[in-house]
Amino acid sequence: TLIIGIFSVKADAKKQQILEKWTDKNYQIEMVRIPAGILKIKPSIVHLHAMDVHIRRFYIGKYEVTQKLWQRVMGYNHAELKGDHLPITNITWYEALDFVKKLSRDSGHVYRLPTEFEWEFACRAGTKTDYYFGQDSKLISQYEWHKKNADGKPHPVGLKKPNPWGLYDMTGNVNEWTSTYWDPELFYRLYPKDKRVFRGGYRVVRGSSYLHGRDAHFRSDYQHAYGQYRPRKYLGFRIVRE
């Protein structure tokens, strides 16, 4: 796992704001409309300079994609622990991409993976604190499944408290793929003595999982990168609709 950035956010929204919802009734996909706003980027090993990222409004899944939805669209399920309402896991980035393509074709709506900036903007839900629920890490268990309360397995989506915009499991349960490509060249330039070798393509992954336990893993700005060809039992995703 590689931590690759720290961000903060300014949003055109207030805490506990009730946002517009939308449901794809054919596939029973519940989504929340995220308002436009600005994500302020700090310099990191991914971004050399501070900048403001202007976010257009978009819809994002209220929950992580479940195995029931995945099975309906893809016709198979490689998750280690099976359950209709468990998040889909053990999928590569390319399989997630194939899912949104097939879902878009079959549903008539345009679905895609979120960018890393869209994901964090939605996760923060207008907050500027380390966690979307404030600064007190002792509250993590009320909002997320993690190493100390998950019994080493994923749990059905939506059982913990949501973030202020009504999104569930944003920094817990399973890690989530984004569409954003991660280039290790900047990492090598900043850390020339690091001996790790990155081969193939990598994508930015957001959130944390039921196997992680450090408080930092559940910050809204926590991110890392995984090889896009490698599935993991604790890695899933959620979807965006234009």
How far apart CA 71 and CA 54 sit, in angstroms, is 35
Q: Which SS3 state, helix, strand or coil, does residue 176 take? A: strand
Q: Report pTM.
A: 0.90
Span 106-152, pLDDT tens digits = 999 999 999 999 999 999 999 999 999 999 999 999 999 999 999 99
- The better pLDDT of the pair 185, 38 is held by 38
Q: Token pair 């720290």 is at which residue? A: 6
Quick one: the chain helix, strand, coil %, rounded to 5? 20, 25, 55
pLDDT band at 172 (very low <50, low <70, confident <90, very high): very high
In angstroms, the Cα distances linking 40 to 54, 68, 69, 124, 212 are 9, 36, 34, 12, 27
Residues for the chain: how many in total? Answer: 242
Residue position matching structure tokens 């950035």: 5
Residue whose pair of structure tokens reads 């954003």 in the numeric block: 180
Sequence-ordered alpha helix ranges (H) in 108-220: 116-124, 140-143, 185-190
